[in-house]
Amino acid sequence: MFKVAVIGGSGLVGRVLVDELAQQTDWQVVATAFTRPGPDTVALDIRDAQAVERFVEREAPDALVIAAAERRPDVCEHDPALARALNVDAVRTLATAAKRRGTWTLSISTDYVFDGGHPPYQHDSEPSPLNAYGRSKLEGERALLDTTELGCVLRLPLLYGPIVSWSESAVTSLVPAIAASAVPDGKPAPMDAWAIRYPTFTPDVAFVIRQLLERHARGEAIRGIVQWSGDEPMSKYEIAVRLAEALRLDAQLTPQSTPTDTTPRPHNCHLASSRLEALGIGRRTPFDTAIREVLTAFPWRGEAPA
């Protein structure tokens, strides 16, 4: 029996990953959660080193996937201690515990380790983060790879997928403003048209991680840094236009051609997925198809979402 521990199993990536892995009849999956613990998850605060060590020793997984993190750039900018605790120190703690058992460990990172000035970025391109979030995730990458030889970093860009709230993804977080602009006497919604993003569907990410786990189960563990990304470039304004079309809303959207975020964001940090593609790993669902799946599954009855 091949056993996988998913750290952060209640999050945007963690939930779909647990669902994906549950389809493997000869695999056992144990998932942890902190902010949204449930009957099918183990409560775990990854900032508690002793609790982490006890969990890994008790469960003895063959592979461990770290899907828990502080991923909100503005929060990281204002609370760098929290960002470091979750994105760096906890990764090191998990990797240390996993190393003792010879457990292959995958940690999820971000395209924000790059400054966005010279895309596309290869897995071995020189990182240069612009904000505290990117710096913390880069330090987390190094913490993993410096701690264990059985470590793999998977860098991902902007994610969207099945949600429990509009705000859970930076893609669906645009819906309330889009809907509010479409009601009678609604005000136009300003949308960033400067930064270029590559929205990536979380079920596709789960599929990629399953393929990586399958290679490890066969004794062909991938180590070092790999990257996966959707292949449709679009700004938040273009995402909003396509969301409005999917929701059949006559939205009033105003493109903004200069950056307005208080926390600096990169312009275009497109991740090259060539290392995984060369191994036959990967799957991409077209954005318009995937976002309709997300919107259909999440309850919305035509009123401006709360």
3-state helix/strand/coil string of the chain? CEEEEEECCCCHHHHHHHHHHHCCCCEEEEEEECCCCCCCEEECCCCCHHHHHHHHHHHCCCEEEECCCCCCHHHHHHCHHHHHHHHHHHHHHHHHHHHHHCCEEEEEEEHHHCCCCCCCECCCCCCCCCCHHHHHHHHHHHHHHHHCCCEEEEEECCEECCCCCHHHCCCHHHHHHHHHHHCCCCCCEEEECCCEECCEEHHHHHHHHHHHHHHHHCCCCCCEEEECCCCCCECHHHHHHHHHHHHCCCCCEEEECCCCCCCCCCCECCECCHHHHHCCCCCCCCHHHHHHHHHHHCCCCCCCCC
**Exposure b/e, 25-57, CB count within 10 A at least 16 = b:** eebebbbbbbeeeeeebbebebeebeebeebbe
Phi/psi of residue 58, each to 5°?
A: -70, -45
In this prediction, residues 159-168 reach a mean pLDDT of 94
Model pLDDT, residue 225: 98
Count of CB atoms situated within 10 Å of the CB of 253: 21
Q: What is the pLDDT of residue 293?
A: 95
Query: In this predicted structure, what is the pLDDT of residue 263?
Result: 85
pLDDT digits (tens, 9 = 90+) for 216-254: 999 999 999 999 999 999 999 999 999 999 999 999 999
CA-to-CA distance for 39 and 78, rounded, in angstroms?
Answer: 33
Say if CB 143 and CB 211 are below 8 A apart.
no
- Reported as a single tens digit per residue, the pLDDT across 205-226 is 999 999 999 999 999 999 999 9
Query: What does the pLDDT average to over 69-79?
Result: 90
CA distance 167 to 124: 32
Q: What is the mean pLDDT of the chain?
A: 93
Q: What mean pLDDT do residues 159-164 have?
A: 95
Percent of the chain with pLDDT over 70: 97
Tell the residue number behind the tokens 């996993």, with chain if given.
Answer: 98
Summarize the confidence of residues 168-192 as an average pLDDT: 93
Q: How far is CA 282 from the centre of its chain?
A: 15
- Residues 39-62: what's their mean pLDDT? 93
Domain parsing of the chain, residue ranges: 2-160+200-227
Please state, in angstroms and rounded to a whole number, the distance separating the CA atoms of residues 103 and 282: 23
- The whole-number pLDDT of residue 185 equals 86
Residue 69 or 306, more confident: 69
Closest CA to 106 of 207, 201, 221: 221
User: pLDDT value at position 300?
Assistant: 61
Confidence check: pLDDT of 299 > 90: no
With bands split at pLDDT 50, 70 and 90, how would you rate the model's confidence at 38? Answer: confident
Confidence of residue 107 (pLDDT cuts 50, 70, 90): very high
d(CA 124, CA 102): 25
Lowest mean pLDDT among 35-39, 65-69, 151-155: 35-39
Mean pLDDT of 127-141: 96
- Selecting from 3.40.50.720, 2.40.160.10, 3.50.50.60, 3.40.50.2300, what CATH number does the domain 2-160+200-227 have? 3.40.50.720
Report the distance separating Cα 91 and Cα 129, nearest Å: 19
Which residues face 190 on adjacent strands? 254
Contact 12, 6 (CB under 8 A): no
User: In the predicted model, is pLDDT for residue 301 greater than 50?
Assistant: no
Contacts of residue 174, Cβ cutoff 8 Å, sequence gap at least 6: 191, 236, 239, 240, 243
Residue 227 forms beta bridges with which residues?
Answer: 155
